[in-house]
Chains A and B, each alone.
Chain A
Amino acid sequence: MKTLEYEIAVIGGGAAGLTAAAQAAAAGKRTVVIERSRELGGVLLQCIHSGFGLHYFHEELTGPEYAARVQQKATEAGADFLLASTVMQILPGKKGPLLTVYSRQEGVVWLQAQAVILAMGCRERCRGNLGIPGDRVSGVYSAGTAQLLLNREGIVPGKRAVIVGSGDIGLIMARRLTWSGVKVACVLEIMPYPAGLSRNIAQCLEDFGIPLHLSTSITGIHGRNQVESVTFAPLVNGQPDLTQEERVTCDTVLFSVGLVPENELSRDCGIKLNPLTGGALVDEDLMTSLPGIFSCGNVLHVHDLVDFVSLEAERCADSAVRYCARERRPGSQIQIAPGANVRYVIPNQVTPGQPHHLLLRTSRPLAAAELQLRDTTGNRLFVKRLRHLRPAEMISLEIPHDCTAGAKGLVLELEELN
């Protein structure tokens, strides 16, 4: 068995991990990226459409181009890479987190780090996770799996598809399938509003005349060996109204029903998770409940744009670098919690009196709202008017340094304005 030592170990070689590694290595830290696949880039490699990089690289890139850019940054900064390598466990070592890595090339590696950055990304919810009833048939895929097959293997999954859920990958795939000669019969969304970005609704569905059925639930998948049809019904009082059930014939069903941060490794090593995001609970430095272990990107919370993943990863790496240099924030941190109409807020703790960078999502579409940051006694410390808020789109917020001085706890709310 081999042993390796690094100052910073980054788990995951996608957008978050590569950006974090580039940032940490550029700061002079001995940094390694541990990636379970045989290539770097993560899910970006199968996202061959454009629209990436407008905020971070100030130009429009495809997924593989974006991946190549961040990989190049990490390589040039001097980061090392362990490919085809999976972190099996994180143990509390004497000098910091000790990782057990199973590597195709190296065998079992014990990797001692001073700080760890979790950047494992997220996975798709699948049919089984939702307990969708009906027959067990071929032709049912997660949208991302279908994207992988089509974009990387050149395999068109069928001839006529139904897409369940209006997440961004599903919307992108509706357009991609149409371009590949597959008829997309419809997209079914259980919520009264789409789950994906507005621009994807316009560019991937409306431009191709693909119907989107809102407040509609799939009620079954039917067939003998291959999918033959799907049934669905509108929701009435939160339940599918079977008297209005419809059947649509198809040979393929794609599920785009949400993403889950891949935190099983984090759970195994005792990191506390946030039930609202599925990610770790983090402080202002994006440090988890275990000292020296940080989290960023889609494993912390599912992002809408990869650019924001990279920005968060830079911030996370900066914190890890400071941690290695034994720089600690002065004073103790206080809790910040989501209030009315706020689905979640990142981070979960802040240092009062400092400037704060907050990320949040609304829990429902709001045409106009007043964002209010209050302390535990109800005092408004900061307010801001916001328009066109959608659950699909993340809200980024800068709070000036003196707002929260002296606060014992914070609540963030969105008050709807008419």
Chain B
Amino acid sequence: MENIFDVAIVGGGIVGMATAYRLAHRDLSVALLEKESDVCQGVSKANSGIVHGGFHYSASTTLKGRLELRGNLAFDRLHAELGFPFQRCGILVVAFAEDQLPALEKLYRQGVENGVPGLELCDAERTRQLEPKLNSQVFGGLYAPGGGVVEPYRLVFALMSAAVQNGVRLYCGFQVAGATEQDGTWEIASLDGRSLRARYVINAAGLHADDVSRLFGAEEFEVVPRKGEEYLLDRLSPARPSKVVFPVPSAHTKGVLVIPTAGGTTMIGPTAEIVEDKHDNSTTAANRKRIFALARKMVSGISERDLVTSFSGSRPVIEGKEDFFLALSEKAPRFLQAAGIQSPGLTASPAIAEYLEQLLAKAGLAIKDKTTAFLPWQPTPALREISPAEADRLHDTDAPGWTDVVCRCEKVSEAEIRAAIRQGHDTLEGVKLATRAGMGRCQGGFCGLKIMRLIAEELGLSLEAVMRRESKGKANISVLGGSRQ
């Protein structure tokens, strides 16, 4: 353990990874500590995948309002660099009652004050013209052409791969169990007995940022999970709108949305309710009914017949605080808080990374560009996105598995799955998030076993040793609960 890292980032979600990616461009040594076996397994996995428009919060009175717009504007460059699925499809907030129009106008004024480009307040006719899938009972809309959708896991994975390729050290299965500070260096211990040293620490631990803060003797706060359920519809659903459709927001939530996801499906949700358990990923029959009813009020073509699956995830809300907590700790030295990153955290993440870098500089870390060239990241092609000619070329020049379709619903080739496993996404869940294999209408019914065989083969494991996903604070559990006869 001769090496002392300049920066250790705790948490491999979007905030940690965006920061690691940014710092990978600098002349710094960086460690990323992730408690699960893969990154993007917490808050960043189960969210709406929206690049928000920059009008929901005031940029002059809230940090998240300011960073949302700045983050939004950074996505084109990030997308050009990393090639994750991202579309600026536009956002449409729709008033379905006359008395919602004042709230819409307020949002418009706030957006204009924030400096959102291209924002447009629309009458009913213009709103329907922008989104023909809307119900006819439309009174007006707010159109933000710069809003969009992103596949959050592919974004995080691309950030990870690019960061690692450029020197960031990734420690998976590293659950911080304790930290001590001496002579300007933190010594950080993992639950499994490993330890490492770093001069600066960034707390990007999502739902567990309160625990991590406590372990470093920094600020005391509580992260409460605000759970949201999402319902995913088949990519052939006729209800898929061309833009993200929002209702007029209430005081606490942006409401249930209809989302044309970056992956080509339609998603409706989320709910927003405070829950006790940070590991709660359940869904309820009552919320299913409510979400479908609310979504159908906006887009009538939505049908439970098109349901593929449902899931839930939680936003990390700091009790008593609705804004992001981005600051140098006042209690622990060289310890940076990146906590309470609820919506619009995904949108803001590039700007959060920039903000954290400035805080590091303020705390005395020299931020200089790398003297060596940054190695660009080449994403694995996706079979469903390339032409037959390109697929044939890859078959001939790279691997026969390029034209062997393993996941029929999402059209994922064996070669893509092997590439994902080799990049470290070696659980069934990891392969799914990295490639979409198993994410489609049959939910892995046909391809699950084939993918398990590929994981077992690539890792030299038995089928029984293949993992479904990260554990919930217990030992990892295999896909197969049972045993071989």
Q: Name A's B-contacting residues (CB within 8 A).
A: 1, 36, 84, 86, 88, 100, 102-108, 123-124, 126-131, 133-136, 138-139, 142, 144-145, 148-150, 153-159, 180, 219-220, 224-227, 251-252, 264, 267
Contacts and interface: CB of A to CB of B under 8 A. Distances in A.
B389 interface: yes
A123 B442 contact: yes
A157 B474 contact: no
Contacts of A226: 477, 481
A127 B443 contact: yes
Contact of B307 (A1, A106, A130, A150): A130
Given A131-B307, A155-B463, A226-B481, A104 B282 contact: no
Contacts of A103: 403
Given A86-B405, A130-B307, A145-B449, A104 B441 contact: no
A180 B480 contact: no
Contacts of B404: 84, 102, 104
Nearest to B483: A156
A153 B279 CA distance: 32
A138 B482 CA distance: 11
A134 B309 CA distance: 12
B328 to A, nearest CB: 37
Q: Closest 9 interchain pairs by CB?
A: A128-B309, A108-B392, A104-B404, A107-B395, A86-B405, A102-B403, A154-B485, A156-B482, A157-B482
Contacts of B441: 123, 129, 264
A157 B481 contact: yes
B400 interface: yes
Given A102-B388, A133-B283, 11 more contacts: A88-B388, A103-B403, A104-B401, A104-B403, A105-B400, A107-B392, A129-B441, A138-B479, A219-B285, A224-B474, A264-B236
24 contacts: A86-B405, A88-B388, A102-B404, A102-B413, A105-B400, A108-B392, A108-B403, A123-B441, A126-B309, A126-B442, A126-B443, A129-B441, A131-B285, A136-B282, A136-B311, A138-B468, A145-B444, A153-B449, A153-B463, A155-B485, A156-B484, A224-B472, A226-B477, A264-B236
Contacts of B392: 1, 107-108
B79 interface: no
A100 B403 CA distance: 11
Contacts of B474: 224-225
Given A128-B309, A157-B482, A134 B282 contact: yes
Interface string B433-452: 00000000111111011000
B471 interface: yes
A127 B481 CA distance: 18
Contacts of B308: 128-129
Given A107-B396, A128-B309, A133 B403 contact: no
Contacts of A127: 309, 443
A153 B450 CA distance: 12
Given A107-B395, A128-B309, A267-B236, A144 B445 contact: yes
Interface residues of B, number: 56
B458 interface: no
Given A133-B283, A148-B449, A157 B480 contact: yes
A59 B104 CA distance: 72
Interface in B271-330: 279, 281-285, 288, 304, 307-311
Interface of B, secondary structure class, is: mixed
B3 to A, nearest CB: 35
B6 interface: no
A131 B463 contact: no
A70 B139 CA distance: 62
Interface in B339-366: none
Nearest to A1: B392
Nearest to A150: B485
Contacts of B22: none
A129 B468 contact: no
B389 A1 contact: yes
A136 B227 CA distance: 14
A227 to B, nearest CB: 8
A90 to B, nearest CB: 13
Nearest to A108: B392
Interface string B412-448: 0110000000000000000000000000011111101
A107 B481 CA distance: 37
Nearest to B404: A104
Contacts of A36: 405, 408
A105 B399 CA distance: 10
B405 A134 contact: no
A108 B395 contact: yes
Contact of A131 (B304, B389, B468): B304
A155 B477 contact: no
Contacts of A252: 481-482
A159 B232 CA distance: 32
B481 A133 contact: no
A381 B409 CA distance: 44
B477 A138 contact: yes
B23 interface: no
A36 to B, nearest CB: 6
B411 interface: yes
Contacts of A139: 481
Contacts of A148: 449
Contacts of A149: 449, 480
A134 B283 contact: yes
Nearest to A84: B404
Contacts of A155: 463-464, 480, 482-485
B391 interface: yes
B231 interface: yes
Contacts of B389: 1, 108
Contacts of B482: 155-159, 252
A159 B392 CA distance: 46
A251 to B, nearest CB: 6
Nearest to A264: B236
Given A100-B388, A133-B283, A157-B481, A88 B411 contact: yes
Contacts of B414: 104
A156 B474 CA distance: 23
A142 B481 contact: no
A292 B58 CA distance: 61
A102 B405 contact: yes
Contacts of A153: 449, 463, 484
A136 B45 CA distance: 14
A99 to B, nearest CB: 11
B234 to A, nearest CB: 9
Contacts of A219: 285
A124 B477 contact: no
B403 A251 contact: no
A158 to B, nearest CB: 5
Nearest to A107: B395
A142 B282 CA distance: 19
Contact of A128 (B307, B388, B401, B471): B307
